[in-house]
Every structure is written in structure tokens, then in C-alpha cells.
Amino acid sequence: MQERFGGLLAPTLRLGVTGLSRSGKTVFLASLVHNLVHGGRLPMFAPYAEGRLASARLAPQPDDEVPRFPYEEHVRSLVEDRVWPASTRRIAELRVTIDYASARFFNRRMGRGRLHLDLVDYPGEWLLDLPLMHMSFSEWCSEALREAARRPVDARPFREALGVVDAAAPAQEADAQSLAAAFTAYLRAARADPNALASLPPGRFLMPGDLEGSPALTFAPLSLEGSEPASGSLAAMMERRYEAYKTHVVRPFFRDHFARLDRQIVLVDVLAALNGGPAALDELRRALRGVLACFRTGRLSFLGSLVDRRIDKILFAATKADHIHHGDHDRLERVLEHLVAEARERAVFSGTTVDVAAMAAVRATREASVTRDGETWPTIVGTPMKGERINGRLFDGEAEIGLFPGDLPADPADVFDRERDEYGVTTMRFRPGRVERNNTGLALSLPHIRLDRVLQYLIGDRLA
Ligand SMILES: Nc1nc2c(ncn2[C@@H]2O[C@H](COP(=O)(O)OP(=O)(O)OP(=O)(O)O)[C@@H](O)[C@H]2O)c(=O)[nH]1
Ligand SMILES: [Mg+2]
């Protein structure tokens, strides 16, 4: 009888949560699942608001070879310990099965439906590998060396290591190893730079897992000066390894994950980039452009008719909106619109529906107004994380503060203008907010901003 409602045949929706490292993917997934399963406050999520959501529960995932998303562990740290989950180191998957009553048949007590929602989490570092799929070794070399010259981090040891090898000389394993080591040290320094938004590819150099020490991870960009690598040369060896990296790391990630997605939410930490100023915004725009070009949207995807799945909806979300007052959320959305304008246009052109939202998956602050000298300031109140500093004050992770985060400009173009760097937002890391409990002491669901609107956009129509 059960199977009548779907069971094995129930439709699945594979939702991709895309975002650079630290953009908030893991927190978003944990909160989405927690709010669905625990019945959070979701007034804009129609199936829930209309009382049609019969149940949402964790179910065995479809892929046996992929680790399970450690949902319970993440929720425990967010709710009980009020600490954010650690940065993700490997891919993980989770399935939520939703039973609902169809709106159309609601009054006739029929039309029950079931939807399997498949969710995947992965380290943001891997995302920047996707553009490599369309880059030859020599294109990647020029790009990587240009980037090394542009970055404020010290790329000198790597450039010195490059200076003592000859790309055209016969290949020596020792040269490959010393170059790869110097290149990896540079990538590590680039990631550690607090002003850097996006890490640099290849993503597995910093997170090698079981590929550690393999030839596919022992290469580096060379200055080729336009010449084709001669057979037997160091350059030819590096090229082969670069191609092996694409074959064994990048393409499987794309094929097993990205090529199977039905919908995408792209999380963007716009506020962190705003903090970094126009140069950081520019870097973010370039990183997103490269990644978004790899999505297969609508009907005109670059793989043509070879693959059956297409992304029919994309939502761009500015995350961590709880860092600013809600009065500024519209402006935050407009900055994000500006950042992704090109990608949006392309997606819409190929028949994909696109929207933009400001949201917070887990709300860490509340709002208050402070009146000083007759003027009222919209402030946010929260517990800064241990070790955070503002105006010379060091926080212990317990004390609360009220902060006036500053205002975003009315014209989003202002934030991209290097000449007009006068707006200022102050962001700091707050601990996750305290979760309310009901009168039996049970924790209610994680507080959020607009998660319900996001859910309605992403899955509402599939539960209609
Ligand atoms: N205030 C606030 N902070 C958030 C929110 N979501 C994420 N953060 C912060 O952003 C950090 C990164 O979030 P994660 O979910 O771990 O980011 P990720 O995209 O999974 O990062 P990687 O696993 O490194 O790719 C967290 O440690 C929090 O400090 C949010 O909704 N509100
Ligand atoms: Mg993560």
C-alpha cells in the first residue's frame, strides 16, 4: 500500500548547494534539514504553511559509496555547543523523504505524494577545479602564473623554484617534486591570507586525501613561453599529470555530482567580499564566473543532448544576512544581483529560472535599536566568537554586544567602484544564536532568515 504513494517510484530532486569555501554550505544544509524535519518556522513555505506536509524524515541515501552527511553531529554542535561546524574535508550525502498532500486534491483527501530530496555537501575548494575542465595545460600555466604575480601573498619561493628549472630539459622526478612542493606551499599561503575570498585550484593540493603523493598531485605550472612541450621534457611530464588530475579528480566530481543536479542554490558570502573592498569583490566575481560557466542550465547546455539532466532553477543567495540589519537586506540583494548579472543572463537565456535572495541559514544575531544623542541606530546583538576583536576589545565567547554594522549604499555600483570606497560594513563572527526550547525542554528548530522563502522557491512547486 505504502508503495502506491511513491516508494521506489517516488520522484527525486537533487539539490546542489554550491559555494566557495566558507560561504555557508554545511550550515545551510544542516539548517534546511533541521527545519524541515523538526517543523521550523516556515510561513512562506506553502506546503508547510497550508498544513499539507505530512512528514519529512531522513532516509537511506541513494549512493552507497558516498559518506553520509553527519547531520546529527552538525546539529549537536550548532544547538548544544553553539559552535559552527568545521570546514568540510570530503563529499557527503543525505536524503530527506517528504510526504505531502497535493494542494489540488487536498479537500478530496487524495493525491498524496512523496518526494525524495537528495542533498550533497563537499569542500568549497573543489569547486574552483571545475573551470580546469575547459583549460589546456598551457592555458592553466599562464593563468596560474598571472595569478601568482597578482596576489599579495609571497609567491617568491615558488617563483625561485621555477627559476632554477628548465621546462624543456629532460623530465626528472626530483624537479617535479620540488616544484610541486613549492607550488603547494604558495597555495597554502594564499588560502591563509585573511583577505582572500577564493582559494586557488587545484583544490586537492591542499586536501589530497588518498591521492597524496600520487603523480596526479605532483605537478606545477611552468613558464612555457608559447612553446609546445617537447616529448620527454619536464613540461610534457607536467602536462600529462595535469591531464591526469582532470581525468581522475575533476571530471568524476563533475560527472558524479554536478551533472546529476536538478536545481542549484549558489551561496555567496557577499558581506565578506564587501569587507575586503572592490578588489575582493572583483576576485569573487571572477571566481563565480568561472564556476557558473560549468553549470548545465536549461536546454542549451554546452554538453548538448549528451546528458539528460538540466538545471531548471537557480537561486543565488547572499548568506549570513544576520550580520546586517534587515533594513539593508534589499541592498544586499542588489549587490549580489550586480555580482552575478552575467551568469544570470546566460542562465535565463537558456531557459532556466533564476532568482536572488538575502538569507541567513542560522541566525546568530537579533535586532535592536539604540538611541544615542536623540538619534536612533539600528543595531544587531549577538555573542562574538572567542578571539574576535573590535576597536581593540577582545571577546571571550560569552559576552554579548550590540553593534551598528554600518550601511550598504543605495546604488550597488558604488561598492565596485575603487574611487568611491566610502561605505563601510563591519562584520564579525558571532556564535550561533541560542535555540528556544518548548516547555518540555526540547530544542525547537534553528532560527533563520528567509529559509522558508528559499525552500518555497527551490522545492515548493514539486510539493504542489
Ligand atoms: N552569522 C552567520 N554565520 C554563518 C551562517 N552560515 C555560515 N556562517 C559562518 O560561515 C562559516 C562557514 O560556514 P560553513 O557552512 O562551514 O561553510 P562551507 O561553505 O561549508 O565551507 P567549506 O566546508 O570550507 O567549503 C561558519 O563557520 C560561520 O562562521 C549564517 O547563517 N549566519
Ligand atoms: Mg562545508
Mean pLDDT of 23-34: 97
- Going from the Cα of 210 to the center of ligand 1, the distance in angstroms, rounded, reads 26
* Nearest residue to 282 via CA among 415, 173, 182: 415
Last residue of a domain, one of 202, 230, 252: 252
Give yes or no for residue 19 CB within 6 A of ligand 1: yes
Question: 443, exposed or middle or buried, with CB in 10 Å at 0-12, 13-18, 19+?
Answer: middle
Mean pLDDT of 104-128: 83
Per-residue confidence (pLDDT) for residue 8, from 0 to 100: 56
Which ligand approaches the C-alpha of residue 84 most closely? Answer: 1
C-alpha radius of gyration, the chain, whole number: 24
Per-residue confidence (pLDDT) for residue 78, from 0 to 100: 96
- Going from the Cα of 27 to the center of ligand 1, the distance in angstroms, rounded, reads 6
- Going from the Cα of 123 to the center of ligand 2, the distance in angstroms, rounded, reads 6
Per-residue confidence (pLDDT) for residue 390, from 0 to 100: 87
Judge whether 439 lies within some domain: no
Atom of ligand 1 nearest to the CA of 27: 15
> Which CATH number characterizes residue 319's domain?
3.40.50.300
**Residue 305 banded pLDDT, cuts 50, 70, 90:** very low
**pLDDT at residue 421 tops 90:** no
- Taking the C-alpha atoms of residue 148 and residue 156, their distance in angstroms, rounded to an integer, is 9
- Identify the domain containing residue 68 by its residue range: 2-122+257-362+448-463
**Residue 136 banded pLDDT, cuts 50, 70, 90:** very high
Per-residue confidence (pLDDT) for residue 419, from 0 to 100: 66
Mean pLDDT of 237-266: 94
Judge whether 142 lies within some domain: yes
Query: Near ion ligand 2, which residues have CB within 5 Å?
Result: 25-26, 88
Nearest CA to ligand 1 atom 28: 84
217 & 333 share domain: no
Atom of ligand 1 nearest to the CA of 123: 25
Question: 4, exposed or middle or buried, with CB in 10 Å at 0-12, 13-18, 19+?
Answer: exposed
**pLDDT at residue 6 tops 70:** no
Give yes or no for residue 430 CB within 6 A of ligand 1: yes
Per-residue confidence (pLDDT) for residue 191, from 0 to 100: 87
370-405 burial, b for 16+ CB within 10 Å, e for fewer?
eeeeeeeebbbebbbbeebeeeeeebeeeeebebeb
Give yes or no for residue 87 CB within 6 A of ligand 1: yes
**Residue matched to cell numbers 544581483:** 337
Q: What is the pLDDT of residues 66-83, one digit of tens each?
A: 999 999 999 999 999 999
Give yes or no for residue 26 CB within 6 A of ligand 1: yes
- Taking the C-alpha atoms of residue 147 and residue 404, their distance in angstroms, rounded to an integer, is 36
278 & 244 share domain: no
238 & 320 share domain: no
206 & 269 share domain: no
- Cell reading at 326: 534587515
**pLDDT at residue 306 tops 50:** no
294 & 312 share domain: yes
109 & 135 share domain: no
117 & 139 share domain: no
Per-residue confidence (pLDDT) for residue 418, from 0 to 100: 65
Judge whether 415 lies within some domain: no
Of 102-116, 212-226, 280-294, 313-327, least confident by mean pLDDT is 102-116
**Residue 423 banded pLDDT, cuts 50, 70, 90:** low
163 & 216 share domain: yes
45 & 7 share domain: yes
Judge whether 199 lies within some domain: yes
Judge whether 370 lies within some domain: no
Give yes or no for residue 88 CB within 6 A of ligand 1: yes
Q: Which of 119, 197, 288, 320 has most ligand 1 atoms within 8 Å of its beta carbon, as the pocket-test mutant? A: 320
Last residue of a domain, one of 252, 278, 310: 252
Mean pLDDT of 107-114: 71
325 & 457 share domain: yes
- Going from the Cα of 152 to the center of ligand 1, the distance in angstroms, rounded, reads 25
**pLDDT at residue 349 tops 70:** yes
Give yes or no for residue 319 CB within 6 A of ligand 1: yes
103 & 206 share domain: no
- Going from the Cα of 23 to the center of ligand 2, the distance in angstroms, rounded, reads 8
Per-residue confidence (pLDDT) for residue 225, from 0 to 100: 81
Per-residue confidence (pLDDT) for residue 368, from 0 to 100: 92
Judge whether 428 lies within some domain: no
Atom of ligand 1 nearest to the CA of 88: 23
Per-residue confidence (pLDDT) for residue 210, from 0 to 100: 84
Last residue of a domain, one of 252, 278, 295: 252
Nearest CA to ligand 1 atom 13: 24
Judge whether 262 lies within some domain: yes
Give yes or no for residue 27 CB within 6 A of ligand 1: yes
**Residue 420 banded pLDDT, cuts 50, 70, 90:** low
322 & 235 share domain: no
Which ligand approaches the C-alpha of residue 268 most closely? Answer: 1
When divided into structural domains, the chain yields a total of 2
- Taking the C-alpha atoms of residue 449 and residue 41, their distance in angstroms, rounded to an integer, is 10
Nearest CA to ligand 1 atom 27: 84
Judge whether 136 lies within some domain: yes
Mean pLDDT of 339-359: 90
Atom of ligand 1 nearest to the CA of 364: 1
Please tell me which residue, 415 or 87, carries the higher pLDDT value. 87
Which ligand approaches the C-alpha of residue 432 most closely? Answer: 1
